[in-house]
Structure formats: C-alpha cells, structure tokens
A and B are shown apart, each in its own frame.
Chain A
Amino acid sequence: MRTRRAVILGLGGVAGALAFTLGLGAWRSRGTAPATDPRLPLPIAEMDFTLTDQRGATVRPSDWIGRPTMIFFGFTFCPDVCPTTLSDISGWLEDLGPEADRLNVTLISVDPERDTPAVLSDYLANFDPRITGLTGPLAEVERAAAGFRAWFEKVPRDGDYTVNHTAGVFLFHPDGRFASIIDYHEDRRFAVPKIRRTIS
C-alpha cells in the first residue's frame, strides 16, 4: 500500500512563482532584465546571494557553475513534506549511484530563524551524505528564492509558525542554464531520467 503519488503541478508552480516575482518587481527592476521567460528560474550565473552551509562554509551561486545542480527549498521543522522530499531525493541519488557524485544537491532553508547550520547538520545526517543544506540571513534567502522564482511565506499556527513554500526540485545544467523542475513527490520513474539527462 505504499503507493507513491505523482503530483503533476509544473505549470501551477510556474504560476505561483510568477505571483512572487510580481511582488518583487521593485527589487527585480534594479537587476538586469532576464533574457529568459520571467516565470522560469534565472540561470545560476545571474543569481546573486550569499548563504552558509551546514559545515559553516560560505556558498554563492557562482560556486555551482561547472556542475549539474539540483536545488530545493524546505525547513527542518516540518515532519511531512521535507522528510518526504529528502527521502525521495536520497532514493534518486541511490538509484543514480556514483553517477550522481558530481551533482550539486542543495536544500535552501526557508526557516533560517530555526535552521542554523548546526540544526541542518543534525537533520541532514539522516539522509544521503551528498545533500548540502544552506541557511543565512532572511534577506539572502529571499534573494535566493527570487532567483529561482520560488515562493515562501511564514504562517502563524497554533502559537507557533509553519512555512508554506515552493515544493518542486529545480535542475540546472553544468553551465548554469535552467533545465527542468521535478514536481513534489514525483515518481522516481520520471524523476531519475530527468536528473540523468541533466548530468550527462
């Protein structure tokens, strides 16, 4: 009974990202005009943010150029979506084996308040060791999300808060061009070939 649901929401994701991009018009207008479809993530080379990984190292998008890249957003306080995504990704990486060694696989926390590098380190120890986690000042996470046309929003909940966020996984070619999105909880029969096409 462990049916995996393939949720096909690619276009919806783009629409959601568009809403966020419009909200960021003021910020965007200061940057260079995108040469690509404004609903799609920017090429990595045009992104600009500085975050810190779970080992305390500084990471900028320019560090990713030269390797195929897989990026997703999440936070460690959610017990359903995020472990499910990380578990899916760990499974994909295992299916790909050493082929995935040169893939940059990175989680960007949408809850930098609670997700310190130490928290990310504890959390990621439960999943494939090739997965990196990034956190940093909220303004830098917002700049990152804007580059990916991703959305996140802190929502008060039962005296605490949760964070709604873009659930897809973004794939980029080694030169930083956007390749495709793997939708939330997408079946590995579809996900693994998409990643393989990006790696090779």
Chain B
Amino acid sequence: MRTPILAALLSLVGLPALACETFTIGNLMIEHAWSRATIGAERPGVLYVEITNTGSADDALVGIATPVAGMPMLHETVVTDGVASMPHAMSVPVPAGQTVALAPGGYHGMLMGLTTTLKEGEGFPVTLTFRDAGEVTVPVEVLSMRAEGPDCEHAGQ
C-alpha cells in the first residue's frame, strides 16, 4: 500500500513548497509551517511550525491568528498515565539558541471555528505573535490528513 504516500508526494510536485521557505523576524527563524486537510469546516484544524531562536535572549510564542479560523489557540498534547489530553498553552517558550517545534503529538495550534475546509495542496496565512519579537505572518501549506510533516530538502531528517 505505497499508493497514498506516492499520491501525496506527486500532488506537491510543481507547487511552490510554501512550508519549505524560511521567514525571519528579529532573531527568530520560522520554518515548516504546515497543516492537515480537514473534512469540512466543522472540525478544528491544526497548525504546526518550527521556530529557531538564533539570538541570546529567550522569547515566547504567545498567540496565533488566521483568517481561516475564528478561534485559533495554542494547545499542548500531553499523555498522563497513558491518557491523552490537550490543555491550553498560555505560551510556547522559544529559548535562546534553540529550535522549538509545534509538531504532531506535542504543542500545536488548534484552529477552532474554521471558516473554510482546509484542502490538501492549498495554503493560508497565519500571524504568529511573539512576546518580544512581535508579529510575523507566514504562509501555511495544507498537507494530507495523514502527513507527518513537509518534505523539504534542507530539513535535517
């Protein structure tokens, strides 16, 4: 059953791989912003992104905003005694000199109140607000529902 993976790869051929571009604000590098396709708009969507702090002072991601969701928020999936839950995260720490990933099974942006279905191959903007660095808007690439992340050549795998 290799077909789903192949199909996912082929659909990206020829598209600008938005998730593979790097954006900067101050000492922060933003990469690999991606989301998963949704079935309709009634279910929440998700946002994943990697943030590298090349500076010498700690910062924190304190908020997200996007036109595709009325109520976006930061969550962290935690597994306690084998039970998964996803409490709100007030902020996501971005310590000096480190890379922090909003990634499957950990911190994620929870896009509640979607205004549209998120379709594979499409994109949407998200504005990330940092405590010190301020705001930056980056494009988010919608991958398949079973994607585990964008395939970028420079991504250290």
Interface residues, chain A, with chain B CB atoms under 8 Å away: 1-5, 7, 9-10, 12-17, 19, 76-81, 83-84, 86-87, 90, 93-94, 97, 122-123, 126-130, 151, 153, 155, 158, 160, 162, 164-168, 183-185
Contact = CB atoms under 8 A, between A and B. Distances in A.
A40 to B, nearest CB: 12
Contact of B83 (A5, A16, A93, A162): A16
8 contacts: A2-B155, A5-B105, A17-B82, A76-B39, A81-B84, A81-B86, A83-B104, A183-B82
Contacts of A12: 79-82
B30 to A, nearest CB: 13
Contacts of A160: 112
10 A-B pairs with the lowest CB-CB distances in the bound complex, closest first: A13-B82, A16-B81, A167-B84, A79-B46, A164-B85, A126-B145, A84-B104, A87-B146, A2-B149, A12-B81
Nearest to B101: A1
Contacts of B31: 1
B76 to A, nearest CB: 9
Interface string B7-20: 00000000000000
B84 A165 contact: yes
A13 B5 contact: no
Given A1-B101, A80-B46, A129-B1, A15 B146 contact: no
A77 B44 contact: yes
Interface residues of B, number: 46
A127 B5 CA distance: 10
Given A9-B81, A83-B146, A97-B1, 8 more contacts: A1-B32, A1-B99, A17-B82, A83-B36, A87-B145, A90-B1, A94-B2, A165-B84
A129 B112 CA distance: 28
Q: Which of A3, A80, A86, A151 counts the most chain B CB atoms within 10 A?
A: A80
Interface in B74-132: 75, 77, 79-86, 99, 101, 103-106, 108, 110-112
Nearest to A77: B43
A56 B85 CA distance: 29
Contact of B144 (A94, A126, A155, A158): A126
B39 to A, nearest CB: 5
Given A79-B110, A90-B4, A168 B82 contact: yes
B1 A94 contact: yes
B53 interface: no
A138 to B, nearest CB: 18
Contacts of B81: 9, 12-13, 15-16, 19
**Interface-centre pick from B32, B50, B86, B144 (highest chain A CB count, 10 A):** B86
Contacts of B58: none
Nearest to A123: B39
A80 B82 contact: no
A155 B85 contact: yes
A87 B147 contact: yes
A189 B73 CA distance: 33
A167 B149 contact: no
A99 B97 CA distance: 45
B109 to A, nearest CB: 10
Given A80-B75, A87-B147, A128-B1, A1 B156 contact: yes
